[in-house]
Structure 1
């Protein structure tokens, strides 16, 4: 599915993130990550969700504290609205990284919504309701502290809004696919860190990675990660698979993060090691765009 151009994109993003000081504006202006799925008429690259998926895997791999997930979903929401004037007004800023936009789901424009991704820092609030898509108004937004310090969430109290388009039920599936890309990237990093550690940790005069029992456990991790990656990419092409991908990728990241902690031993429960960050991301991300049991219920209705 991935071409040489996709691999070049992955390498460019990975190289920039590996420097440790990559900023959101830098990623947007030097690589154009926020505008990959945005048409050229609005300043984007005119690519698709597939290209955004490649970038989201990389930001998820290092738990980069950048609003790539919210920007991807927000850009798709604006395009789904069909309002060319609003798109022309807002998308160029999102592409350049100067405008932070996010999407929230609500039953009405007069309620309080919790756990809104980047909700307290966003310049633009897009609200998806049963009645349509709106640019939301809010006079009260409060940062919600979370165990996952790489993910910024907020409580937003809506106070109205301006309708920009019809209901977009497919938007949640797009959000789920984008989220699974991050989860796959994080799960791959958990696996890579574990394999590398077992090559260097010596017990009874041998690297622990040579023990058959641990080889089996890491092989199981590998199979799960590759399966999750496959269904995540399949959901890019067929959004009907988004709910299944969300359940699969969420469970995979939770399992692999837990295995990483066990196979690292005592060092993994120290604050200095990154294992706890991936474990927290695993438990945080599965609730971001709906509960797992809700996704399972949706799948059962389509079978």
Structure 2
């Protein structure tokens, strides 16, 4: 059984790691925590020149035409480097346009996403914080050939720097649809929230925001599930890269930190923690790639595979970063050390698109129990 990457995928992975080690070091991650934008337009432009924003976008719209599995390989490296900014929500919105956008919408938006000229993000969750359909209460009212949005979206990633918001709301006909809204449109107010990860999640309030019918994306249930699977897999991939690097940093520290005249890594308690960490990381990687492949190939098993992957990756990554903090001891909680960056970023990805409990319930439902 060959679980390895192809030569082209290995090249993508290695070139991404080399680029991010140079362009997104720890100092950059720390600087973006304090930056108002939360990302570097210069780095965003460099990534666009490498074709990353358009990696999965078809060549006819200016993209590279790679698969969703390839995108997950790239995002794993983003998790390793803790790349700040709107790359993942931007990729989810691009996937939505690819899967369900009209020809006119694809022509209008995909080339600018691929070139890095425009940033898109999604506005799904509301004050309830739920990721299921029942958690969405915003309703769009119809006025001629336009729709009017009123309500609040919460925990919207990078809304303050996005050019377009993909707002999920109920249409009068009872369908759950996406409304593409320019961020600068009148009636929209955005507040950046204070979060444990020091990322840029926002509260977005809509007050009589008008959206032309041509800017609405409708999709069937199967397409909606596949898009949700893609978004969830990207968070899993990010967590795999994050957990892998947290493990490496912790093992290196255990080899170097001397206590009682010997490296702390020689103590059995520390060895067992490291063993648990690597077991969890390898399990995360396997189950994530299984789900990513099933989603990329649109296999029937993708819903179950993705739910299992997110349930495992959410909980396993939490165990990994907790062990990393314990191996470092008290200094692991000081901001002078890098390990706390991984601990705080893990919590965001653990919760986005549903935590372990939410996805275990999904698995149980699909098992018919």
Instruction: Tell me which interval the TM-score lies in, with the shorter structure as reference length.
Output: over 0.9
Give the structure 2 partner of residue 182 of structure 1.
Answer: 238
- What do the CA deviations read for 1:216-263 (whole angstroms, capped 9, x no partner)? 221111010110111111111223121221111111111111111110
Report if aligned partners of 2:239, 2:317 keep a CA contact under 8 Å in 1: yes
Cα distance in 2 for partners of 1:276, 1:246 equals 22
Contact map agreement 2:332 2:340 (CA 8 A) in 1: yes
Deviates more, 1:153-162 or 1:68-77: 153-162
Tell me how far 1:164 sits from its aligned partner. Answer: 2.6
Q: Secondary structure at the match of 1:286?
A: helix
Aligned residue pairs total: 301
Q: Give the aligned partner of residue 96 of structure 1.
A: 115
The answer on whether the counterparts of 1:42 and 1:91 sit within 8 Å (CA) in structure 2 is yes
Q: Which structure has the larger Rg? A: 2
- Equivalent residue in structure 2 for 1:229, among 277, 285, 288: 285
Asked if the contact 2:236–2:313 (Cα under 8 Å) also holds between the matched residues in 1, the reply is: yes
Q: 1:296: Cα distance to partner?
A: 2.2
Contact 1:187 1:256 in 2 (8 A): yes
1:71 to 90, 93, 97: 90
1:25 is displaced (CA, Å) by: 1.2
Matched, 1:206 2:262: yes
The aligned residue for residue 141 of structure 1 is: 190
> Do the aligned partners of 1:77 and 1:103 also contact (CA within 8 Å) in 2?
no
Q: Distance in 2 between matches of 1:160 and 1:56?
A: 34
Does residue 1:26 correspond to 2:46, yes or no? Answer: yes
Query: Among residues 8, 11, 22, which one is paired with 1:8 in the alignment?
Result: 11
Q: Please state if 1:195 is matched with 2:251.
A: yes
Alignment partner for residue 87 of structure 1, among 106, 112, 122? 106
Instruction: Give structure 1 stretches of 5+ with no counterpart.
Output: none
Distance verdict in 2 for CA 1:142–1:257, change over 3 Å: same
> Residues of 2 paired with 1:83 and 1:204: CA distance?
67
CA contact (8 A) 2:154 2:203 kept: yes
User: Could you say which residue in structure 1 is the equivalent of 2:345?
Assistant: 281
SS of residue matched to 1:271 = coil
1:128 aligns with 2:192: no
Query: Which of residues 151, 154, 174 in structure 1 aligns to 2:202?
Result: 154
How far residue 291 of structure 1 moved from its aligned partner, in angstroms, is 4.3
Q: Which residue of 2 aligns with 1:248?
A: 312
Deviation of 1:160 (Å): 4.5
Q: How far is 1:213 from its partner?
A: 2.7
Assess if the C-alpha contact under 8 Å between 1:187 and 1:225 holds in 2: yes
Q: Equivalent residue of 1:154, what SS?
A: strand
Contact 2:197 2:345 in 1 (8 A): yes
Verify the 8 A CA contact 1:77 1:126 in the aligned structure 2: no
Structure-1 separation of matches of 2:191 and 2:353: 19
TM-score (norm 1): 0.93
Name the structure 1 match of 2:358: 294
RMSD: 1.8
Cα distance change, pair 28–88 in 1 and its aligned pair in 2 (3 A): same
* Unpaired stretches in structure 2, ≥5 consecutive residues: 25-41, 125-135, 141-149, 170-174, 295-301
